[in-house]
Amino acid sequence: AAALEHLDKAFANDRLPKLVKPVAGRMQAEFKSVGAEAMPLTGTTVVKFRQYFDKIPVYGSLVTVELDKRNACLGINSSLGTPAGVSNIAQISPAQAAAAAAKAAGVAVATVTQTPRLYFYFDQHQRRWCLAYILENVSSRPASRSAQGDSPLKDYVVDAKTGKLIAELPRT
């Protein structure tokens, strides 16, 4: 609670003009804690938040607030996004997104057991924000038959409007 209060104060502080709470159209950014970690070496606590718009997370967003033993703010680090002009309603089903990921991975749809999750995602190639399903830790077929070992794990990003594959992100 203390970390979120410090974050809200920082967004409202006129002396920090580059740290503003993102607004995308009519959507207000929300921040939900993803955990807190005690730092034994410094005696501080680091609280991490993920950014959301309309209950949908922004892929890659992270805000870190470091607190001392009295819950005073020592520092804030942020990576935020503003997915303006993006609808928050998917046009394809999670099952269709799983099928697109399976096809890209070269595996049967039945082997993709991960649940597709909606995110606001910045497509680096198209240089635009989109609503996307992301399937994490999907096993893909090795590129060659002679490849040994486990199948490489990847995250698959599927456009929630068109069903097209946006990106394959290696887990390594």
pLDDT of residue 151: 63
How many C-beta neighbours within 10 Å does residue 135 have?
A: 24
pLDDT digits (tens, 9 = 90+) for 31-61: 999 999 999 999 999 999 999 999 999 999 9
pLDDT of residue 120: 97
pLDDT of residue 25: 84
> For the whole model, what pTM was predicted?
0.87
pLDDT digits (tens, 9 = 90+) for 98-150: 999 999 999 999 999 989 999 999 999 999 999 999 999 998 876 545 455 55
Using DSSP, state whether 105 is helix, strand or coil: helix
pLDDT of residue 146: 45
Q: How far is CA 81 from the centre of its chain?
A: 10
Confidence category of residue 81, pLDDT binned at 50, 70, 90: very high
CA atoms within 13 A on the CB side of 162: 6
Contact by Cβ (8 Å): 151, 140? yes
Contact by Cβ (8 Å): 143, 91? no
Amino acid at position 108, single letter: A
Average pLDDT over the chain, rounded to whole? 91
